[in-house]
Amino acid sequence: MDKCKVIAVTNQKGGVGKTTTAVNLGVGLARQGKKVLLVDADPQGSLTVSLGVKNPDELETTISDLMQIVVDNGILSPQDRGILKNIEGVDLVPSNIGLSSFEVSLVNTMSREFVLRSYLGTVKRDYDYVLIDCMPSLGMLTINALAAADSVLIPCQANYLSTKGLKLLLGSVAKVRRQINPLLKIDGILMTMVDGRTNNAKSIIAALRSTLGGSVRVFDTEIPRSVRAAEASGEGKSIYTYDPKSRVTQAYTNLTKEVAELGKETNRSRSDGAR
């Protein structure tokens, strides 16, 4: 049985906390003893930098090279795998600006939606979780991430425009489910950079919960706004290492528990289905 769960951390809106969530959820799961692979699917390389790689443009092998080998029908030997090992307990498939031209070239490729899925198929047996940090667009790389994923986790800021943008995203997930990945689930929406002191944030979150009703989970955990989160990524560290006692660390610890519980539900329903 496939024990690995692939989660795409996605939102086409920029700057909502996708990368911060991928890093801190990934490291959080690793601290629970899980084997975790983080995949940087953004040409900005923010995940790569947030995990302490100083110059992504100097890396010899990145995600675009690995996906190109798949496109060329090449065999991925262990040396080609290009995975950076054990950074704060997680492994990383790094990215850099080269991914941008690769995305353009994908348009003329056969089975262009499934290249990342094919690549992950060669490595995921080594992991309990693969988290894909998506770029802020609904382009071909994000479609590749959604095609490769078992579920999506959607960071969202508590403001009016962000919650409006969710409709577009949920529509895209539904379309991917209809056309290329029928088993794709939504793990939930994660409210990020929440300013607990403002009533505006509180009322927006309450309105979102009631609009979505029971159809899509909004995680109980909310990530507070704190400059410590921004400082940690600037230092190339997870929040657990940078400031173990901060409110953001506590919040990501709580999120990790919620996500680990979901993993169990999925396994249970999968084995029920197999019976």
Q: Which does 225 bind (CB under 5 to 8 A by kind): Mg ion, ligand ATP, none?
A: ligand ATP
Which residue of 8, 10, 18, 131 would you call a contact of ligand ATP, by CB under 6 A? 18
CA atoms of 7 and 146, how far apart (whole Å): 9
Q: Does 157 bind Mg ion (CB under 5 A)?
A: no
3-state secondary structure of 38: strand
Contact 136, 165 (CB under 8 A): no
Q: In the chain, what are the helix, strand and coil shares in percent, each to the nearest 5? A: 50, 20, 30
Q: How many CA atoms lie within 13 A of 82 on its CB side?
A: 22
- Taking the chain, what is the end-to-end CA distance rounded to the nearest angstrom? 13
Q: Which does 223 bind (CB under 5 to 8 A by kind): Mg ion, ligand ATP, none?
A: ligand ATP
Q: Does 8 bind ligand ATP (CB under 6 A)?
A: no
Cβ distance to Mg ion smaller for residue 19 or 142: 19
Q: Does 19 bind Mg ion (CB under 5 A)?
A: yes
Contact 204, 157 (CB under 8 A): no
251: Cβ contacts below 8 Å, ≥ 6 apart? 221, 222, 223, 224
CA atoms of 42 and 26, how far apart (whole Å): 17
Q: Does 193 bind ligand ATP (CB under 6 A)?
A: yes
Residue 87's DSSP bridge partners are: 90
Cβ distance to ligand ATP smaller for residue 49 or 115: 49
Q: Does 46 bind ligand ATP (CB under 6 A)?
A: yes
Q: Does 233 bind Mg ion (CB under 5 A)?
A: no
CA atoms of 99 and 221, how far apart (whole Å): 33
Cβ distance to ligand ATP smaller for residue 68 or 246: 246
268: Cβ contacts below 8 Å, ≥ 6 apart? none
Q: Does 157 bind ligand ATP (CB under 6 A)?
A: no
Q: List the interface residues with ligand ATP, window 228-247 (CB under 6 A).
A: 229-230, 233
Strand runs labelled E in 105-245: 129-134, 151-157, 185-194, 218-224
Q: Does 185 bind Mg ion (CB under 5 A)?
A: no
# chain residues binding Mg ion, by CB under 5 A = 3
Q: Which does 48 bind (CB under 5 to 8 A by kind): Mg ion, ligand ATP, none?
A: none
Cβ distance to ligand ATP smaller for residue 41 or 130: 41
Which residue of 15, 52, 82, 121 would you call a contact of ligand ATP, by CB under 6 A? 15
Q: How far is the CB of 73 from Mg ion (least distance, A)?
A: 31
* Residue among 264, 265, 229, 262 nearest 27 (CA): 229
Q: Does 20 bind ligand ATP (CB under 6 A)?
A: yes
Site string for Mg ion, 46-75 (x = CB under 5 A): x-----------------------------
List residues near ligand ATP by CB under 6 A.
Answer: 14-20, 42, 46, 136, 192-193, 223, 225-226, 229-230, 233, 248
